[in-house]
Amino acid sequence: MVLKGAKALAIPTKMGQMLDFQPDDSKTLKWESLDNKNLLWFSASMNILDFSIKNTNDSNIAKRLVGILKTIRDQNNSFLIQNGGMVKTRLEFDRHWGLGTSSTLISNLAQWSQTNPYTLLTNSFGGSGYDIACATSKSPLIYSVDKTQPHIEACKFDPEFKSNLYFIYLKHKKNSREAIKQFKKQNINQEQITHTTSLTRAASKADTLDEFEKILNEHERFISKILGLVPIKEKQFPDFPGTIKSLGAWGGDFILATGDNSTPDYFKNKGYNVVISYKEMML
């Protein structure tokens, strides 16, 4: 709905991604991406003159990276002109989780090259940009975008019931680009955008868990009707006593669940072993 102009509540996670660049006298850019266990999952080397790929272990990822680097040079024509070197990136979370592998990379590249991260996003992965805002934020925020212009408001979301909030990984990553492509075909009216924003405002100011759950339930019902999809609780966890909300592109990545100390056991008994508390997850 943010893609259509609605406001969303977004909260940065503790886990992110680092990027380090060590220049040398060569005309080659060498790239190594490490996962959260320090294992190499992507590598490439390319000519800095035109970013032509010399070798790589994944040509699809290498092509997307080249596209981003070319977009950077369109914004900053002095980027990587003189010297090559070694780039190393390292994730602090499992790369399959969908916690922002792409957005944190875009943010880091933009900071390194002194370019606009939202322009890089638009010309590469696409999306609303809320995750780009989160990548450098130290606190919760209300995010919206008008055409291509992002709007960020500070938000003091720090609920007393945060110990009742859990994030559960559904064991498969949703393809955000495909989800965005499908959603853009939807005809969304101004009334639906306004209602989404009102739910965002209400959720960010909820004083009690009961109030928060009612807002999440309404949000799930409302979005499910727009997407024509069955809410995740109804589909997979009908006997769960708390509230469940899909996050990101519906059908993948993480869900938010409200509950108590027994909540992790409920999901682990169902085979979902990655259950992270709000305190562990959020910055």
Residue 53 pairs in a beta bridge with 46
Residues 6+ apart with CB under 8 A from 115: 72, 75, 76, 79, 109
Residue 14 has pLDDT above 70, yes or no: yes
Beta carbons of 155 and 141 less than 8 angstroms apart: yes
pLDDT category at 187 given cuts 50, 70, 90 is confident
- The predicted pLDDT at position 179 comes to 67
d(CA 256, CA 166): 6
Tell me the domains of the chain and their CATH numbers.
17-91 (no CATH), 158-281 (3.30.70.890)
pLDDT tens sequence across 121-139: 988 888 889 999 999 999 9
Residues in the chain: 283
What DSSP letter does each residue of 41-54 carry, written as one string?
EEEEEEETTT--EE
Return all residues near 201 (Cβ < 8 A) that are at least 6 apart.
7, 142
Look at residue 145 and give its three-state secondary structure. Answer: strand
- Give φ, ψ of 174 to 5 degrees: -80, 140
Full-model pTM = 0.90
User: How do residues 163-179 score in pLDDT, each as one tens digit?
Assistant: 999 999 998 766 666 66
Q: Quick check: 105 pLDDT over 70?
A: yes
Segment 28-51 shows an average pLDDT of 97
Residue 123 one-letter amino acid: N
Instruction: Say if CB 75 and CB 115 are below 8 A apart.
Output: yes
pLDDT digits (tens, 9 = 90+) for 201-235: 999 999 999 999 999 999 999 999 988 889 999 99
CA angle 110/112/116 to nearest 5° reads 20
Instruction: Report the pLDDT value the prediction gives residue 252, as an integer from 0 to 100.
Output: 66
Radius of gyration for the alpha carbons in the chain, expressed in angstroms and rounded:
20
